[in-house]
Structures are given as structure tokens and as C-alpha cells.
Structure 1
């Protein structure tokens, strides 16, 4: 069917560029609503593993935000953070989304190989806060009071790292199937310091999710997520509103489209100011 007249498929109102930070290359994807921006600017969703889910999220929000009064999804800017690859994932995510922990604490690699380099979560968060977010805010009308971060699996783990160490960075945190077992000792240590960061002006919403078919008893992701939600909800004076959802009949991969649909409602929901 291919002919000389064929053209590449383009997602409307979407753009991409390569940003280099600390000698690491990131493929940044951005989609902009067709609607005129509200006076306060658009909500913005920072999406980890952008190579795998940017197109899905962009199309989902493009369709559902046409009738926000019915769908609960409002127009928003989507910023996908990926890597220079044609594949859905890149090994660099292991470094960017994790803290350095003893090899003895890591799960076994199903391929029998050593895991890629890890331990770059702090550097990656600095990139988001000091390089990427200012760049997006400089070029696009962003509502700085309605910013969300979305991650799945190791990306979900990184979302929790941000919530526990810099809760003011975003207002909405979406951690799908978070790999809590991966850096659990570090995560618990960071959590113990979180109460010191809960200022009176903090108003954060966190959503932790899992697919029903992921609950196979190996890593106890459901149990660990539920326990974390309970602990977060009991901290301070209610500055963190944490919730949990389980999606029926979905596995670790198939859960992504439904997570995106639910995540869009969570990320763009209008809140009283």
C-alpha cells in the first residue's frame, strides 16, 4: 500500500524537540488544546515515559475535553518526557526514576541480565523543576496552580518520590502500578521526613492505582499502595488527599489506556480556589 505520496501521521497541535541536560538527551513531546486558554492558563500534565503513552493521552484528552461538562475532562497541555528512541521505553528510565539501592534489594531481572544504571531520581527532578517546567511556562499559558505528574510502573515510583520529597512541585500526583518494592527502603525513609514539609498552604491530591490482574502476590503492589494511601491521608491537617483505584480485568500493560482516561479526570478536575 505504501507509495511515494504517503505522508507521516501527525498528531494535531503537537510538537517535539530534544533537550539535553547533564549530558542526557530527552525527547520532549507537547500537545496544546485548540480552545482559547482560560484567564489563569491551562492545566498541564507532565507525562513520564512519553514515548509509550503521549499519543494515547493526547488523543484521549482531545476527544473527551470537547464536552467537559459530561466527561469531567477539561482542556490541558500535555508534556510527554521521553527519550530519543522509536521504542516505547528506553533503559535510561531506570536511572531517571530510581534512587541508588543495594543490588540485594532489587527484584531479579526476568531476562537474567544485570539491571541498567540507577540512582538518578534527584538529578531528573532537578531537570523537571529547573529546566523543563520553566521552558514550558515561558512558551505556553500554564496555570501553575494546576499541574499534574503522571507515571506508571517505575514512572509511578518516581511520582511517589516527588510527592514525598517535594510535595509542592505539583498539585496532582498520579502513580499507576507504582514499583514501591523497587526502592522501598529509600521510599520509607523519605516518607518519614514528609510531615516536616506539610505547610498550611499545601493542597495536594494523589491517586495510586493498579490493574486487578497485577495482584498476583509477588510484589504486593496493591497492599503497599493501600497502606501508603492510608498513611498519607492521616498526615498533617489533610494537606494530602490520597485515594486508590483498582481497574478490573487489567494487567500491568493493558491498564494504561483506562488509567489515562481516569487520570485525565483526576488531573484536570476543577477545584475551588
Structure 2
């Protein structure tokens, strides 16, 4: 298993630890296994400023190039990774690590990610100009995906020799974006790792995309969905428990919807997994799912598994 850092169990809030300052990370320390470089980019409209940190293995590139792992919430991802993770990767098929973060001193820019990571919304056949959830405008996921494809991927390919084995990892809103990418542009990545996705966002808008998705387009894709099921602490219900209405009138919550998505993908020849972690709440799933993303990105080739539940799954 990658690294030695345990999954950090924190609040079950939707944006855990977002305002925590990020100090020195693996990208700032000398390493025998990876070298990191930092690039500054900004959105076309100049409203969002990105910190792209690229970790390139010090091992010789394979004949076809390194695989690559694109990590959303890059500040938080690098704040979560440890030197043992890099050492673990170096002994396998190490991927280029691409941390897509924001140019802020904290783990997240919650306003920017609320826009970038959430899908456009259509109601009554018309697009919603500015879908707002919890006071934050959203709906920019298509623009952000285009930014990844036209700005970030070319930058990575110019800095490192990479293959076509590209993975995308996201947690929470990042998991929402990862599934949106799979359902709208599945060719963008070959492997998708999803941690505790915010399927509940905007009354389950992602569910509309899933129901409209031509499932055979996911054939051969490696998709891992990981969900924490520890009961929510506090007076209000966890967002994952909020009801989502399907087109056929059924009522689901985020976890049930995610499981249904995994099952549907598996039925259509995707290499899909669905795992539950009863000992983890929303915050702890960031480390758990990122750890799984490292494992999957380092696989020499996609490996199909079945949908599983782990009543006593250890994240160590």
C-alpha cells in the first residue's frame, strides 16, 4: 500500500479542512524518487489562478513513456502525500504526478473549485445560467475540462515523456467532476478514481448526465468509486443522505446513486469497482481514495475487478 500516512478522519463536512494552510509538501523537499516543478496558469477569463505542480519520476521513462495521474485539489493532494508514497511509487510503474491546485496558501480555493468542479445544469430544456449551491456559483466543469485538455495536458507533455495511460482522481466536488468527465468526455482519461463524490449537488444534476450517458462509451475504462459510510456527526443530515430524484421517479441518495453508476458501468464492460469504508467519514476519504489512485495509476495495465464492499476495510 502506498506510503505510511494514515487516512485522516476529520469532519464530515462537504469541504473538510479547506481553509487549512499548506506548509512544506513533498513538492518542496528534495527527493531521491521524484523531482517537482511548479507552473502558474490562469483561466481564460482571468478569474481563477492555478498552481500546477508536476512530479516527474527520477527513474528512466519506459519505452512508451510514463503513465500520468492528474490530481484535482492539488494543494490538498500534495499536503496529503508523504515521502513514503513517492518511494512506494518508484518501485513500481511510477506515474508523472500532476497536482492541479489553486494559487492560494490554503488547501482549497472553495469559490473557484465550486465553479470549476460542478457540471452545467439544464432545467426544462434550458441551461441554467448560473447554478448556485450554498451561495457559490457553479456550472463551469466543461470549461475547466477544456482548460485541462488544452492547457494543462500540453504543459505536462512538454515537461515529461508520458504515455496514453492517464488517470484522473478527485474527491468530493472533485469526485463529482471526475464522474462528469467520464459521462461527457470518457476518452479524456483511461482511468477514473472517485472519492466520496458529491452526487447530491444541485438536486442530483449528475444523475441526469448518468441517465443520458451512452454506457458502452465507458467500455474498457478503469473506474474506481470509493465511499465512506461512517455516520454523520452533528444535527443536520450528511449531504450524501440528501434525496436525489431519478427520471423514472425513484429516490436515491448519493451513495446509492454512486453504487448504481458503478454497477451500470460494470454491466457495460467497464472495469468498475465500488468500495465502502464504514470507518471513514467524508474527510478521511480524501487520503483513502488518493491512496487508491496511486495504486491504480501505477498498475502496468488496467485490471478489472468486481464491485465490492469491505465491512472492515483497513485504509493502512
Whether TM-score is above 0.5 comes out as yes
Measured against aligned partners, the alpha-carbon deviations of 1:236-258 in whole angstroms (never above 9, x if no partner) come to xx1x2211112241111122222
Aligned counterpart for 1:176 among listed residues 184, 190, 195: 195
Compute the displacement of 1:203 (Å). Answer: 2.3
Structure 1: segments with no counterpart, 5+ residues: 1-7, 69-73, 110-114
Q: Which residue of 2 aligns with 1:141?
A: 161
In 1, Cα distance between equivalents of 2:255 and 2:212: 23
| RMSD over equivalenced CA pairs, Å | 2.6
CA distances 1:185-216 after superposition (whole Å, capped 9, x unpaired):
532332234327728xx521111111231576
**Structure 1 counterpart SS, 2:41:** strand
Q: Is 1:11 matched with 2:55?
A: no
**2:63 is equivalent to residue 39 of structure 1:** yes
Among 139, 143, 156, which residue is 1:123 paired with? 143
Give CA deviations for 1:54-94 in whole Å, capped at 9, x if unaligned.
Answer: 243463531212433xxxxx311110111111111102000
Map of 1:50 onto structure 2? 74
Question: Secondary structure in 2 aligned to 1:150?
Answer: strand
TM-score, normalized by length of structure 1? Answer: 0.82
For the pair 1:251 / 2:278, whether they are aligned, the reply is no
The SS at the match of 1:119 is coil
Structure of greater relative contact order (alpha carbons < 8 Å, 6+ residues apart): 2
Within the candidate set 262, 265, 273, 1:232 is matched to 265
Assess if the C-alpha contact under 8 Å between 1:95 and 1:117 holds in 2: yes
SS at match of 2:40: strand
Shift of 1:16: 1.1
Give the structure 2 partner of residue 221 of structure 1: 254
Using the size of structure 2 for normalisation, the TM-score is 0.71
Count residues with an aligned counterpart. Answer: 248
State the alpha-carbon separation in 1 of the partners of residues 89 and 73 from structure 2: 23
CA contact (8 A) 2:57 2:90 kept: no
Decide whether aligned partners of structure 1 residues 214 and 243 sit closer, same or farther in structure 2, where only a CA change above 3 A counts.
Answer: farther
Higher helix share: 1
Please list, as runs of the form range in 1=range in 2, the aligned pairs for 1:25-174 lying within 5 A after superposition.
25-57=49-81, 59-68=83-92, 74-90=93-109, 91-101=111-121, 109=134, 115-144=135-164, 146-174=165-193
Residue equivalent to 1:212: 229
Cα offset for 1:139?
Answer: 1.8
Cα distance change, pair 140–78 in 1 and its aligned pair in 2 (3 A):
same
